[in-house]
Structure 1
Amino acid sequence: MVRACVIAAVLPFAALPLAQAQTMPPGAKQPSDFPRAKLTAGMYVIDAAVAANDADREQGLMYRSKLGANEGMLFVFNENAVHCFWMKNTLIPLSIAFIRADGTITDIDEMQAETENNHCPRNNGVYALEMPKGWFAAKGIKPGTQIKGLPSAQ
């Protein structure tokens, strides 16, 4: 089984306040620079930033201080594998759904801010979707739910 560690973090989709923007390291991508995708989970519409290359996946949602109620980040991988996440430099708690190529959620985990614990799914997949902590539970979204609108995995 191949394990890929990905740094998961939290970045705002709107412009950052000046004080927060100054804390982003040189070369970090601004939240507004990530491509976007509109996803659906049942009747819920998700506004997701898309991290589909190594640099974007490594930065993820780092340095963000908040997410909107239906905002998240979709990680797209080029291999069907167990992709692990951690929360280094991630300032807000998140929930993460691990997703197969067909859009089926296989696992959901809760992640605390600024921790380095590994969060690994029990199943292989090609996507991971990070949302504000508790979002999936509050919407009744569980393993087996289909996520629609996913971009093609390379």
Structure 2
Amino acid sequence: MIVRLLVILSVVLPLLACAKPVLQLEQFSLVPLRVGEQLIQVQLANTPEKRAQGLMFQQTAEPGMLLLYPEPRVISLWMANTSMPLDVAYIDASGTITELIALEPFDETSRPAKSLVIAALEMPRGWFAQHGVTIGQQVALLPGATR
């Protein structure tokens, strides 16, 4: 019996050593942001790894997330592993909101920006309407924010 257990352990332990590590989730810092007339703090996703993770696996969209890119580009968002409905503002290089779109939980349909943008601001569904934020308004990182 003990010999059998040792044989099993000698086979299983090396396999466990080769197992894939547990998913390492990125940590996000909070940064101050002006959205229209609103002053808020949001999570900042300013690296490829943080932007790829976004709000996936989080239980709430609060306090929101700014996906910031180093230069303007056409970006596309989807909702893989994201369980809450979101509203998203695409933001151009001048800080102007160019589009507002709604994203549904777990929808993996790609939703590209219609023009070059430098950021996307993901907020809980209804946040922009509730705060009177519309296309054409400005978004700006406030002093003290890390780019």
Q: What TM-score bracket applies, with the shorter chain setting the length?
A: 0.7 to 0.9
Tell me which stretches of 4 or more aligned residues in structure 1 moved more than 6 Å. Answer: none
2:43 is the counterpart of 1:43: no
Determine the structure 1 residue equivalent to 2:23: 26
May I ask how many residue pairs the two structures share in their alignment?
Answer: 124
**What's the CA shift string for 1:58-111, capped at 9, x where partnerless?**
10111112133xx11001112311100000000111000000112100001000
Query: Which protein is richer in helix relative to its size?
Result: 2
Where do 5+ consecutive residues of structure 2 fail to align? Answer: 1-21
Give identity over the alignment, percent. Answer: 34
Partner residue in 2 for 1:100: 92
Q: Which residue is 1:83 aligned to?
A: 75
TM superposition shift of 1:115: 0.8
- Given candidates 33, 52, 65, the residue that maps to 2:46 is 52
Deviation at 1:118, TM superposition (A): 1.2
Are residues 1:140 and 2:132 paired?
Answer: yes
Please provide the CA RMSD for this pair.
1.7
Supply the distance in 2 between the matched residues of 1:43 and 1:131 (Cα, whole angstroms): 16
Query: What amino acid is aligned across from residue 141 of structure 2 in structure 1?
Result: G
Residue 42 of structure 1: CA displacement? Answer: 2.8
Q: Is the 8 A contact 1:72 1:129 kept in 2?
A: yes
